[in-house]
Amino acid sequence: MKYLSRHLILPIHLNNSQALCCGQLLSWINEQATIFASCQMKSQCHVAKLISEINFMTPAVAGDMLEFGFECVSLGQSSVTIRCKVRNKVTQSPIASIDKMVFVNINANGLPIPHGMRANAA
């Protein structure tokens, strides 16, 4: 797993319990996963098809620096499946994980098209 991006938690990102709001974290994960999938497929035209259950493990608070890790799990004809882990950069504590995120390569009409990747290229 490669940890390619980071995000600093600010007070505006907290919920009423003074912990990172899960919706904010999901937004960041979705954004970073989309960028990762785009780089893997070498395509700007793809959509998220599925995001599996999210396991929130450790609360994060203002001042924490989060790292987002992604890896390819499998390839379909037009899709790529990736795994995500979020951890605290300083303590290495796991914050959240998603085992399955599927992105599909599409054409201008929104229909799936082959991405041209080979399994050993992922």
Provide the CATH number for the domain around residue 41: 3.10.129.10
Residue 120 confidence class, pLDDT cut points 50, 70, 90? low
Report the distance separating Cα 22 and Cα 27, nearest Å: 9
Mean pLDDT of the chain: 93
Expressed in angstroms, the distance from the first to the final Cα of the chain is 12
What pLDDT digit, counting tens, does each position of 83-118 carry? 999 999 999 999 999 999 999 999 999 999 988 777
Tens of pLDDT, residue by residue over 57-82, are 999 999 999 999 999 999 999 999 99
Predicted pLDDT of residue 119: 65
Question: Per this entry, what is the length of the chain?
Answer: 122
Domain of residue 29 covers 2-121
Tell me the pLDDT tens digit for each residue of 2-48.
Answer: 998 999 999 999 999 999 999 999 999 999 999 999 988 888 788 99
Q: Contact at 8 Å (CB) between 89 and 6?
A: yes
Domain count, the chain: 1
b or e along 68-94 (b: 16 or more beta carbons within 10 Å of the residue's beta carbon)? bbbebeebeebbbbbbbbbbbeeeeee
